[in-house]
Chains A and B, each alone.
Chain A
Amino acid sequence: MSKAGSAFVVFLLLLGIYLVYTGTTNPVDVIAGGVAAAVIAALSADLVVSKPSKVFDPRRWVAFVIYAVKYLTVIEARAHLDVIRRILSPSLPVDPAIVRIPYAVSDDYAITTIANSITNTPGTVVVDIDTERKYMYVHWIDAKTTEDEGARAHVSEEFENYAKLIFEG
């Protein structure tokens, strides 16, 4: 059941991508894209989705939309402005360090969301991850603290809260 569910979820995703990329809703294209999506989903869906029921949970989608909008507008703009200010200041106010940030999620997609959210905001880059002890090593342009929990509060806490709502469980 879970296997067929995974294949169905991946099928929907791929058919959507096919139609958007091709730019048509012509019935012939829906059939052709559907066949291609079904073949790929049958062969490889288990790589992508393990718990398909999570995809049909509307609370996760609401959290995802809120996070996507907030991340792409407010959080990104704030991080960009901060780094722009540092670059343009003649005194170059940077204090770089690699800090160790703990995380408390176990789903691969949640971990990846946190890591990519950190990397995609200017000023912070995830350089390595230790999945056994659950630490991310993050290069921070202006390390306000080198203490684990302090760095977590500054850098990744908000990302982690949303990642938990969207993917965990």
Chain B
Amino acid sequence: MSSEEALAIIVSLAAAALLAVVAVGQGLVPVASTDLTPLARFYLLNVYNGSSQLWGASPEVITSILWDYRGLDTVYETAVFFLAIIATLTLFRDAKLLPETAGSGRGMTVIVKTVTRITFVTIPIIAASIALHGHLTPGGGFQGGAAFGVAPLLLITAFSLRLAAERGWSKGKLLTVRTAGLLAIGLIAVSTPYIIAALGGKAGIGYVMQNQPKAWAEVGWPYAIAYAGMRVLFSGTLLFLNLAELFAVSAGLALVFTVIAMPTEVLEKGGGVKK
């Protein structure tokens, strides 16, 4: 055994011993403090408390904050993301996704391709689950969309962009889905008074991004439906906003990945760069 190997073994053992001493001596402390701030206490006591005027009709505090208490922030955030994608597209405004100019289409080995075929269809179903349960469990529309984004990225990496072009992906289609998602978020944001009137409730003045009724603005989305003896909680606007956000983010990420994967010559031509 060389002296270097001996040294490596001694250092490893010393590190392990140190770790053991720290873990046993200190006791492992909880990651989150049990000493809540007044703000945290407010959210935890109100968010799923039906008798509170300030409830969000959802047991998921984070989603409630994102889409209800601080809902406008998230709308603007989504708009900023949309603007960033528009800016990216403007740079390469005339770049077209065509099979002839999208590479050789050879891609990686058959092993990688076969595994990618399976993950390409299973990632979106996981993304759907994350988004559809955003009002119940950790997750939501943006998280689902971010998970979905891996699927087009894997397909482009394993098979090359040519397969995407041959399967009929186009900037226009992806942008349509992206815009429809954002439009749906905008409609839901101003929908609350109309929804309650459409369902036969008492019409009144509401706020932008209002989810549940407040004492001074008594309109709100229904938060659950009951059928066949079961009660299904969908938390008012939260489920629909998550769903719209899923489409907006998924198509947005797929669009950006597709554009930046294009060959340099196509991008240069599409951006109007003079030769």
Q: Which residues of A are in contact with B by a Cβ distance under 8 Å?
A: 10, 13-14, 17-18, 21-22, 26-29, 32-33, 36-37, 40-41, 44-45, 47-48, 108-109, 111-112, 115-116, 126, 128-129, 131
Q: Which of A14, A32, A41, A126 has a CB less than 8 Å from the CB of B132?
A: A32
Contact B121 A111 (CB under 8 A): no
Q: A38 to B48: give the CA distance in the assembly, Å.
A: 33
Task: Give 8 A-B pairs besides A28-B232, A37-B125, A111-B110 with Cβ atoms closer than 8 angstroms.
Answer: A14-B121, A18-B125, A26-B230, A36-B132, A47-B121, A111-B111, A129-B110, A129-B111
The reply on B122 being an interface residue by CB < 8 A is yes
Q: Who on chain A is nearest to B124 by CB?
A: A40
A45 near B128 (CB under 8 angstroms)? no
CB atoms of A22 and B109 under 8 A apart:
no
Q: A21-B129, A22-B129, A36-B128 are in contact. Are A131 and B110 (CB under 8 A)?
A: yes
Give bound CA distance, A64 to B117, whole Å: 20
CB contacts (< 8 Å) of B178 on chain A: these are: none
Given known A111-B111, A116-B111, A126-B111, contact A18–B129 (CB-CB < 8 A): yes
Q: Report the Cα distance A112→B122, complex, angstroms.
A: 18
Chain A residues, CB < 8 A from B111: 111-112, 115-116, 126, 129
Given contacts A22-B133, A28-B232, A111-B114, contact A40 B121 (CB under 8 A): yes
Interface pair A108/B113, CB less than 8 Å apart: yes
From A18, A26, A45, A109, give the contact of B114 (CB < 8 A): A109
Q: Which residues of A contact B128 (CB under 8 A)?
A: 18, 32-33, 36
Task: Rank and list the top 8 A-B pairs by shortest CB-CB distance, nearest first.
Answer: A36-B128, A112-B114, A14-B125, A115-B111, A108-B114, A22-B129, A28-B232, A47-B117
* B125 contacts across to A, CB distance below 8 A: 14, 17-18, 21, 33, 36-37, 40
- Interchain CB contact under 8 A, A112 and B120: no
State in angstroms the CA–CA spacing of A92 and B159 once bound together. 40
**Known contacts being A28-B232, A109-B114, A112-B114, is A44 close to B122, with CB within 8 Å?**
no
Nearest residue (CB) in A for B168 is A43
Q: Is the CB of A21 within 8 A of B126?
A: yes
Q: Is B115 an interface residue (CB 8 A)?
A: yes
Q: Which residues of B contact A (CB under 8 A)?
A: 109-111, 113-115, 117-118, 120-122, 124-126, 128-129, 132-133, 230, 232
With A and B bound together, what is the CA distance between A14 and B127 in angstroms?
12
Q: Which residues of A contact B113 (CB under 8 A)?
A: 108
Q: How many A-B residue pairs have C-beta atoms within 8 angstroms? Tell me.
A: 70
- Expressed in whole angstroms, the Cα–Cα distance for A42 and B198 within the complex equals 34
Do residues A44 and B126 form an inter-chain contact, with CB atoms below 8 A? no
A-B contact pairs, 11 of them (CB 8 A): A17-B125, A17-B126, A22-B129, A32-B128, A36-B124, A40-B121, A40-B124, A47-B117, A109-B114, A111-B110, A112-B115
Contacts of A33 in B (CB 8 A): 125, 128-129
Instruction: Tell me if A48 and B117 are in contact (CB < 8 A).
Output: yes
A116 CA to B126 CA, complexed, in Å: 24
CB atoms of B110 and A45 under 8 A apart: no
* Closest chain B residue, CB of each to CB of A18: B125
Residue among B111, B122, B230 facing the most chain A CB atoms (10 A cut-off): B111
What residue in chain B is nearest A107 (Cβ atoms)? Answer: B114
> Given the complex of chains A and B, what is the CA–CA distance between A26 and B122 in angstroms?
21
On whether the beta carbons of A128 and B126 are closer than 8 Å, the reply is no
Q: Which residues of B contact A109 (CB under 8 A)?
A: 114
Are B115 and A45 in touch, CB under 8 angstroms? no
Contacts A32-B132, A36-B128, A112-B115; is A17 near B122 (CB within 8 Å)? yes
> A48 and B126: CB pair below 8 A?
no
Distance in Å: Cβ of A118 to nearest Cβ of chain B: 10
Residue among B113, B114, B232 with max Cβ neighbours from chain A (10 Å) = B114
Residues of B within 8 A of A10 (CB): 121
Contacts of A112 in B (CB 8 A): 110-111, 114-115
In the bound complex, CA of A92 to CA of B176 (Å): 61
